[in-house]
Structure 1
Amino acid sequence: MIEAIREELRQSADAKYKKFQESLVPGLTTMMGVRMPKLREMAKKIAKEDITEFWEKADDTCYEELMLKGIVIGYVKMDQEKQAQALEDFVPKINNWAICDCSCVTYKFMRKDTSYWFAFLERFLDSKHEFEIRFALVSMLNHFVTEEYIDRLLERLNHINSHAYYVQMAAAWAVSVCYIKFPEKTTLFLQTDTMDTFTHNKSIQKIRESYQVSKEEKDKLLKWKREESGK
């Protein structure tokens, strides 16, 4: 199975796409250049079979093979305990934003037992590792910006203690998604939050970049920007 997967990856590699993607993902040296739609197609096919061999033999240092592992979790049918075990194994191996974000969006199973999965993700928010925290934030912004979880999510965003760049950017992204769905609550949050200045201002910037926000709202949001010499 694993050799067939590798052969399919080799045949699907695109040198121009590889060069383009490497420009977007700093430090990426193990990419073959397979486009995301193809990887999702392959992951869905892998998920229909016994994934044991693939999981054990996939090369975690290869961008595409690690990406496949991440998105297969979202497609394969397995019980909640095994999903959690797979994530416990996968998440510490995430080493760039692309693998993190493309994987997280597939985890729609988290919406079926929100109490369990929100608690599962919260543990990663307390990690010392940049991409483990980003994994939690990106999963939350994809699956937990809901009436039930908006207050808890904003509260957690207010207490992110990492100044790692990809954590700060994910937190700002999460705040912007919260604003689109819950503008009043998020506006109040931005008036009193204790996020670091970079994340706070980046949150406002990302909200103002949205086509779903009116010019009037965008102008009002500028009131809450902080001086960079602040917090």
Structure 2
Amino acid sequence: MDIVKELLALYDLEYKAYSSKINPTVPQETIIGVRIPKLRRLAKTLLKAAKQADKSEITQVNAFFSELPHKYFEENLLHAILISEMQVFNELVEELERFLPYVEDWATCDTISPKIFAERRPEAELLAYKWIKDSHPYTIRFGICVFMSYFLGDWFKVKQADTIVAIRSDEYYVNMMIAWYFATALAFNYEDVLPYLKDQRLAVWTHNKTIQKAVESFRIKPEQKEYLKTLRIPVRRKAVSK
């Protein structure tokens, strides 16, 4: 199978326009326009072939993993989906470490969701702490996403939130993920997370975005939303000189 040829055959012009709109940082000429369900079906086909292959041969999945950087946006999404399905933890981490420096958009970043992390939380936690200290914005975003996906509820630790709240970045997609993390954490660990907003420990934009996302969430109670609204920080607009 020629993976790029398969992707090009799955293009959808209407979806390409939509995908281009919601992924403004992705070079438009690299977007084919392939819907996620079709990418997942292609991934399933590749993984089935890899499973049936002789252990001594290089599978198409392994060959695809080595072809970095990819040309097309959908190649990166497919890469993210394939990584998420890996079952051998050490091999997963190796591929993640190789792929993350090439991730340059929120969609690819957020598509990486290794199922095995739910079974290997102690190791995943240590990796997440490392990733959020990286210099690459989407590696940082992915590290925060790991904490949000696997370490809320019974797995929440104040140390995790303390580390995330200390992040200061000029990157929009890093700050948006910080806000998303705290808004989601409010739904699962409201009493633990509320002090971060009451004490205004987040940057102003991220603080207010956290409240906005929490108020929009169906998982936050109405009375909690009303209180959160009172914690918004007024932002003064700069006077425009005439």
TM-score between the two structures when normalised by the length of structure 1:
0.90
Instruction: Tell me the residue number matched to 1:57.
Output: 67
1:11 partnered with 2:9: yes
1:157 touches 1:195 (CA, 8 Å); kept in 2? no
| Greater gyration radius | 2
Aligned to 2:47: 47
Number of the residue aligned with 1:228: 235
Where 1:224 maps in the other structure, the secondary structure is coil
Q: 1:25 is matched with which residue?
A: 23
Match for residue 121 of structure 1?
128
Q: Are 2:94 and 1:85 aligned?
A: yes
Answer yes or no: is the 8 Å Cα contact 1:133–1:167 preserved in 2: yes
Contact 2:86 2:116 in 1 (8 A): no
Shift of 1:159: 0.9
Is 1:204 aligned to 2:216, yes or no?
A: no
Once the two structures are superposed, what CA deviation does each residue of 1:140-160 show, in whole Å capped at 9, x if it has no partner?
211221323342321122111
> Aligned-pair distance for 1:44?
2.3
1:90-121 deviations in Å (ceiling 9; x for gaps): 11111111111122xx3121111111111111
Identity fraction in percent:
27
CA distance in 1, matches of 2:68, 2:137: 23
**Residue 58 of structure 1: how far off its partner (Å):** 6.2
How far, CA to CA, are the matches of 2:154 and 2:200 in structure 1?
20
- Secondary structure, counterpart of 2:104 in structure 1: coil
Distance (Å, rounded) in 2 between the aligned partners of 1:66 and 1:202: 28
Which is further off, 163-172 or 141-150?
141-150
User: Once the 2 structures are TM-superposed, how far is the Cα of residue 59 of structure 1 from its aligned partner?
Assistant: 5.5
- 1:58-207 alignment, distance < 5 Å: 60-77=70-87, 79-103=88-112, 106-207=113-214
Per the alignment, in what secondary structure is the counterpart of residue 147 of structure 1? helix
1:24 positional shift? 0.7
**CA offset at residue 47 of structure 1?**
2.3
Change (3 A) 1:164 1:57: closer
Q: Distance in 2 between matches of 1:186 and 1:64?
A: 36
C-alpha separation in 1, matches of 2:155 and 2:67: 40
Runs of 4+ in 1 over 6 A off after TM superposition: none
Work out the number of aligned pairs and report it: 224
Q: Contact 2:85–2:115 (CA<8 Å) still a contact in 1?
A: no
Contact 1:12 1:34 (8 Å CA) reproduced = yes
Say whether the 8 Å CA contact 1:44–1:75 is kept in structure 2: no
Q: Give unpaired runs (5+ residues) of structure 1.
A: none
Structure 2: give runs of 5+ residues left out of the alignment.
Answer: 51-58, 237-242
> What letter is aligned with 1:144?
F
TM-score normalized by the length of structure 2: 0.87
Q: In structure 2, the residue corresponding to 1:57 is in which secondary structure?
A: coil
* Contact 2:40–2:81 under 8 Å retained in 1: yes
The alpha carbon displacement at 1:193 in A equals: 4.5
Q: Is the Cα contact below 8 Å between 2:69 and 2:102 reproduced in 1?
A: no
